[in-house]
Amino acid sequence: TLRTVVRGVGSYLPARVMTNAELSTLVDTSDEWIVQRSGIRERHIAAEGETTSDLGLAAARNALAAAGMDAQDIDLIVLATSTPDRTFPASATTIQDKLGIRHGAAFDLQAVCSGFVFALATTDKFLRSGSHKRALVIGAETFSRILDWTDRTTCVLFGDGAGAVVVEAQDQPDGPGGRGILTTHLRSDGRHSSKLYVDGGPSLTQTVGHLRMEGREVFKHAVGMITDVINDAYAATGTSSADLDWFVPHQANKRIIDASAEKLKIAPEKVVITVDRHGNTSAASIPLALDVAVRDGRIQPGHLVMLEAMGGGFTWGSALVRW
């Protein structure tokens, strides 16, 4: 059966690190409050002039190197981002251009923090249809540019960064033993738009706007939504939490991750956590976390890896991958 197999992972973080101590000089907050409520200790912030496509390009190059592939092997680029360089053209086409690719297609996809899971699921359908062979799926964000740096309830939670995977259509054995993406489940519910949104945009205000969030409201819905789509993945594949080697959740908040893992009976040692060092990098957080866990040797070929995310919209989704 035709499956979408991960061939390589890469990431990129801007050089500048902002600690909680530095943040407490900008707004009325403390390291203790931020760590206790979110698990975040530091985040990376893009340099002036360093854009989302710059971050995504660096991550894409690292993923191609890890896959041992040339950019010319790629015929599809899907970039998940809510912070594109410009309203248009899609930042994916900027990355395509800088990689020197003149064939195939490149487009952006927007599902806020669920963007990487949505992009991976979309790419999986392209590859399994036979229309494209090898894709770069990138999550890249510069949320520092849409934060209200005077609002302590949001500015302490986010960071900048990018991650990418190279995936390839391959013939694989049927069932959960074969390599590749086993199943994906995407959901959205626009009734919740006022709980997490940006208060600007080209059509509504002709401005970029700032992120606004009712954190407690988001938190209230997160665990239920996350566990629902993970249970959908188990039901579709006949697997359970006991079968997982690694749980790589969207890194929004350590308390949400811990509560989800506990509800799903996923052992804490199987959970990949990077929110402490990256903050919430929205669509970039999952491929960033994947890159950390692949490079330090935790995720190995043959492992069963559950990805999940929940974010603005609301949007939420899961992807179960035999590495």
13, 57, 63, 112: which one binds ligand ACO (CB under 6 A) = 112
Task: Answer whether the bond into residue 176 is a cis peptide, omega within 30°.
Answer: no
83's tokens: 């912070």
**Exposed, middle or buried, 200 (CB in 10 Å: 0-12/13-18/19+)?**
middle
Neighbouring CB atoms inside 10 A of 285's CB total 29
User: Counting contacts by CB under 6 A, is residue 96 touching ligand ACO?
Assistant: no
User: Counting contacts by CB under 6 A, is residue 252 touching ligand ACO?
Assistant: yes
- Given the complex with ligand ACO, which of 69 and 213 has the nearer CB atom? 213
Would you call 113 a catalytic residue per the annotation? Answer: yes
57, 119, 162, 256: which one binds ligand ACO (CB under 6 A) = 256
What sign has the CA pseudo-torsion 22, 24, 27, 32? positive
User: Counting contacts by CB under 6 A, is residue 80 touching ligand ACO?
Assistant: no
User: Counting contacts by CB under 6 A, is residue 113 touching ligand ACO?
Assistant: yes
The Cα 8–Cα 38 span in angstroms is 30
Where in 122-141 is the site for ligand ACO (CB under 6 A)?
Answer: none
Would you call 155 a catalytic residue per the annotation? Answer: no
- Given the complex with ligand ACO, which of 256 and 272 has the nearer CB atom? 256
Neighbouring CB atoms inside 10 A of 177's CB total 11
CB of 25 to ligand ACO, least distance (A): 13
- Given the complex with ligand ACO, which of 115 and 180 has the nearer CB atom? 115
| Per-residue CA distances from 104 to 30, 58, 59, 74, 90 (Å) | 48, 20, 20, 8, 15
Where in 161-220 is the site for ligand ACO (CB under 6 A)?
Answer: 196, 213, 215-216, 218-219
Number of residues that bind ligand ACO (CB under 6 A): 23
- Residues 169/3, Cβ–Cβ less than 8 Å: yes
- In the sheet where 304-311 sits, what is the strand order? 180-188, 315-322, 304-311, 246-249
Q: What is the DSSP string of 20-33?
A: HHHHTTTSS--HHH
The Cα 109–Cα 52 span in angstroms is 13
Task: List the x/- string, 11-40, binding to ligand ACO by CB under 6 A.
Answer: ------------------x---xx--xx--
Give the rounded distance of the alpha carbon of 96 from its chain centre.
Answer: 20
User: Counting contacts by CB under 6 A, is residue 282 touching ligand ACO?
Assistant: yes
Near ligand ACO by CB under 6 A, which window of 53-61, 127-135, 148-156, 233-241? 148-156
The Cα 276–Cα 105 span in angstroms is 35
3-state helix, strand, coil in the chain (%, to 5): 40, 25, 35
CB of 135 to ligand ACO, least distance (A): 24
CB of 21 to ligand ACO, least distance (A): 13
User: Counting contacts by CB under 6 A, is residue 311 touching ligand ACO?
Assistant: yes
Q: Are strands 246-249 and 304-311 parallel, antiparallel or unpaired?
A: parallel
Which of these is catalytic: 20, 44, 62, 113? 113
- Given the complex with ligand ACO, which of 107 and 219 has the nearer CB atom? 219
User: Counting contacts by CB under 6 A, is residue 281 touching ligand ACO?
Assistant: no
CB of 298 to ligand ACO, least distance (A): 24
Strand (E) or helix (H) holding 167: strand 160-171
Where along the sequence are the contacts to ligand ACO (CB under 6 A)? 29, 33-34, 37-38, 112-113, 152-153, 156, 196, 213, 215-216, 218-219, 252-253, 256, 280, 282, 311-312
Q: Which residues are catalytic?
A: 113, 250, 280
